Amino acid sequence: MPQQYILALDQGTTSSRAILFDRQGHIVAQAQKEFTQIFPRPGWVEHDPLEIWATQAGVAAEATVKAGQNGRSIAAIGITNQRETTIVWHRQTGRPVYNAIVWQDRRTAAFCEQLRVDGHEELIRQKTGLVLDAYFSASKVRWILDNVPGARRQAEAGELAFGTVDSWLIWNFTQGGLHVTDVTNASRTMLLNIHSLQWDEELLALFDIPRSMLPVVRASSEVYGETKTTVFASKIPLAGIAGDQQAALFGQQCTGPGMVKNTYGTGCFMLMNIGEKPRASRHNLLTTVAWQIGNQTQYALEGSIFMAGAVVQWLRDQLGIIRTAAEVEALARQVPDSGGVCFVPAFAGLGAPHWNPHARGTLFGLTRASTAAHIARAAVEAIAFQTLDVLRAMQADADLPIRELRVDGGAAANELLMQFQADVLGARVLRPRLLETTALGAAYLAGLAVGYWGGLDELRALNPADTTFAPQADRAVIDAGVAQWHRAVRAAQHWAQDVPPTAAPA
C-alpha cells in the first residue's frame, strides 16, 4: 500500500497555509500564500471570502504537488482557522453577500455596549463563557443583516448561510454539499450554549439572527463528508476542524486537566485544559470548548495578552535599537538584569486578567545609567511577567496546579525569554521539536477520525519536547521582580485613570 499523508489547512488572518504530514508527524511539504487585508474605515477589518477560498485551495494543491502526491495519497484533510471571522453567503449561488468581517473588526462595539447597558452581559457570559464584545461573531452577523440591502429579507426566507471560515471552506470543498462547523468554532460565535453544545434560541433572538442561517454543529474529529472540487484528483475525507488556538492546544498534546500552552505571537494566547465541565472565570478569562472527540467534550480557559512579539517589533521599528527581531536576545544578554527598568507594554491597553483598555505603554525606573540593553531586557521580561499574570488567574479559576507550560510561536525561539519564563513561573517550560502546532493539531484531529493514528497514546510520541527549561534563578530575586512588575502595572493603570475626560486615550 502506498504511503499516505494527512493534509492540514491552516487558514489564518494574513495568509492561507497547507502542510502535508506523514505518520511520524513530520512535515513532508508545505505552501503558503498571503491575501489582502481590507480596511474600509478606521476600526473596520475585512477579507474577501472568495480570495480566502482561492488562496486556501491553491496552497492545498501546491503542497500536494510539491510532495509528488495526488488526492489518493491523502488519507484525510484537517482544517484550522482564524476564529470569529464572519461570512454570510447565498445558499443558491455560493456568493458572499458582503466581505468577511474579521475578528479584529470593531464596528459593532457600540451595539455591544448597548447590550451591556440593557443588562444582557451576565446572560451572555453564563451561556457562552465569553465576555460581551464585538470580537465575537454574533454582532457581526447582525450588522450584515441590517446593513446589506435585502440581506435580512433573504435570511428570513432561508436563502442565506452564515459560517466562520471553517464552514466557508467546507461549503466550497463540497460544492455546497455540507454546511457544518465544529464545537470549537461554534463556541466563539456568542450564539452557542457551551453547556448544551446547541445553538441557543434566546441568544439568536437577542441578536435577531434566523436559525436557518446557522451550520450544523459537529465534533472536532469525525468524517463530515468528502471533497467534490477539482482541487484534488480524487475525493478526500474532510475529517477534522478546530479553531486555531484550540488546534494548537491539541497539537501540544494538552489532553489532561491543568495542562497549559502559550502561543507567543504578536500577542499571546494561553489556553488551559480544564476537563469535561465548563467553569466560569472569576478573573476575566474566557471559557471555551477545547474540542470534542466522540462523545467526550473538553473545555478550556483562555487568556489573551495583547503585546508579546509586538513589543520586540516596537523596539525595532519605533525605537530603532535593533535591526531584526532576532537581535533582541543578544542585546538583552549584554546586561545581567534590567537595572531597575520596568516596561509595561500596554500599547493597546492591558488584556487578561486586567482588561484596562485605557492603559498605555510605560517605562519605569530609568536612570542616567540605563541603556538600550536594559530596555531590551525589560521588554523580554515583560512578556514573561504578563504570562505569569494570566497563568495565576487560570490557576485560581481552575483550582489546578501548574507543573509545566508548553510553548510555541515565533518568540518561543528566544532562549533568554524561555529561561526567564521558567524562572518566573517556578515551573518547567517545554518547547516541542516542531513549532507548527496549530496545523499539527488539525492533522491529529483528522487522522484520528479516519484511523490514520490509533489514539492519543500514539500521538503523544510524535512531537516530543525538544528543549526543557527548568527554573534556575534565586526565588527571592524573582519575587522582587514580580512585585516591581505589579507595582508598575498599578502605576500604569493609575496614570490612565487620572487622564482628564477631554484628553482620554483613543
Q: Is residue 414 part of an annotated ligand binding site?
A: yes
**Alpha helical stretches, state H, 323-455:** 327-332, 372-398, 415-425, 437-449
Q: Is residue 474 part of an annotated ligand binding site?
A: no
Measured between alpha carbons, how far is 113 from 408 in angstroms, rounded to an integer? 34
Q: Is residue 266 part of an annotated ligand binding site?
A: yes
Q: Is residue 467 part of an annotated ligand binding site?
A: no
Q: Is residue 309 part of an annotated ligand binding site?
A: yes
Q: Is residue 139 part of an annotated ligand binding site?
A: no
Q: Is residue 245 part of an annotated ligand binding site?
A: yes
Q: Is residue 408 part of an annotated ligand binding site?
A: no
Q: Is 133 helix (H, G, I), strand (E, B) or coil?
A: coil
Find out whether 405 and 216 touch, Cβ atoms under 8 Å: no
Q: Is 493 helix (H, G, I), strand (E, B) or coil?
A: helix
- Sole residue written with cell 454546511: 179
Rg (CA), the chain: 23
Residues in the chain: 506
CB-side exposure of 315: number of CA atoms within 13 Å?
30
Q: Is residue 104 part of an annotated ligand binding site?
A: no
Q: How many CB atoms lie within 10 A of CB 283?
A: 18
Q: Is residue 172 part of an annotated ligand binding site?
A: no
- Sole residue written with cell 473588526: 105
Measured between alpha carbons, how far is 483 from 375 in angstroms, rounded to an integer? 18
Q: Is residue 431 part of an annotated ligand binding site?
A: no
Q: SS in 3 state form for 164-225? A: CHHHHHHHHHCCCCCCEEEHHHHCCCCCEECCCCEECHHHHHHHCCCHHHCCEEECCEEEEE
Amino acid found at 434: L
Q: Is residue 265 part of an annotated ligand binding site?
A: no
Among 353, 164, 326, smallest CA distance to 268 is for 353
Backbone angles phi, psi at 321, to 5 degrees: -90, -10
Beta strands, E only, 280-403: 286-293, 296-305, 342-344, 362-364
**DSSP category for residue 102:** P
428-449: b (≥16 Cβ within 10 Å) or e: bbbbbebbbbbbbbbbbbbbbb
Beta-ladder partners of 20: 7, 29
Q: Is residue 95 part of an annotated ligand binding site?
A: no
Q: Is residue 256 part of an annotated ligand binding site?
A: no
Measured between alpha carbons, how far is 18 from 9 in angstroms, rounded to an integer? 5
Pairing of strands 216-218, 180-182: parallel
CA separation (Å) from 32 to 29, 184, 233? 11, 24, 21
Binding residues for glycerol: 83-84, 135, 244-245
Binding residues for sn-glycerol 3-phosphate: 13, 83-84, 135, 244
Binding residues for ATP: 13-15, 266, 309, 313, 410
Binding residues: 13-15, 17, 83-84, 135, 244-245, 266, 309, 313, 410, 414
Binding residues for ADP: 13, 17, 266, 309, 410, 414
